[in-house]
């Protein structure tokens, strides 16, 4: 489906659902962004909008919809943690993707020095200080300076076309074309 001008030369109405579907064709990793608010409450949400922004200085970015129930938290906190999910974290990815109370079980989570939750077994974690909040349409882009990080060689959890996948599962889901091995 395309979004082009109509035959009469007037712009066609923008297909928001189609645009979202088109964006979903790009496989991404999955992260849970966590923080502790000024009252000491723990917060987290699943995102697939994480990206590197700069190596020098070390910066990352992620975005959050303005209507999110946790927007007020991330507008106020100075520090947050990005937890990149491993394949084994499918359940956590699903739980933190919906608006509901979050439970940070000690058997799966530990607190960082800044008291933001860190997921055990994450593919990578990035402890960050917020250095920018940029309005971008119906989202805010958060820019974080990476203060410290860890990583493993575990396989990441992936998100594609509105669904979670393991690395091998997503690669194996491609249809073979004639002549391919």
pLDDT in tens, 124-133: 999 999 999 9
Q: In the numeric block, which tokens belong to residue 144?
A: 């974080």
- CA-based end-to-end distance of the chain: 30
Across the beta sheet with 31-36, what order do the strands follow?
42-47, 31-36, 79-84, 124-136, 139-151, 59-65, 51-54
* Contact (CB, 8 A) for 11 and 4: no
Gap between the Cα atoms of 119 and 166, Å rounded: 18
Query: Quick check: 89 pLDDT over 90?
Result: yes
List domains and CATH numbers for the chain: 27-172 (2.30.110.10)
Gap between the Cα atoms of 116 and 37, Å rounded: 9
Instruction: Please give the DSSP secondary-structure letter assigned to residue 87.
Output: G
What does pTM read for this prediction? Answer: 0.82
* Contact (CB, 8 A) for 32 and 38: no
Give the pLDDT band of residue 26 (cuts 50, 70, 90).
confident
């Amino acid at each position: 489906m395309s979004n082009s001008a109509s035959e009469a030369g007037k712009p066609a109405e923008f297909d928001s659902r189609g645009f979202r579907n088109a964006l979903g064709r790009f496989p991404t990793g999955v992260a849970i962004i966590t923080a502790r608010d000024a009252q000491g409450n723990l917060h987290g949400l699943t995102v697939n909008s994480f990206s590197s922004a700069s190596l020098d200085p070390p910066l990352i970015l992620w975005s959050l919809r303005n209507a999110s129930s946790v927007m007020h938290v991330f507008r106020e906190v100075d520090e947050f943690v990005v937890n990149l999910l491993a394949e084994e974290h499918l359940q956590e990815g699903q739980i933190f993707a919906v608006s509901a109370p979050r439970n940070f079980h000690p058997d799966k989570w530990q607190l960082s020095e800044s008291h933001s939750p860190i997921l055990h077994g994450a593919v990578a974690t990035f402890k960050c200080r917020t250095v920018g909040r940029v309005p971008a349409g119906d989202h805010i882009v958060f820019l974080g300076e990476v203060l410290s990080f860890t990583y493993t060689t575990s396989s990441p959890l992936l998100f594609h076309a509105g669904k979670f996948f393991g690395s091998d599962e997503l690669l194996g889901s491609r249809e073979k074309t004639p002549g391919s091995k």
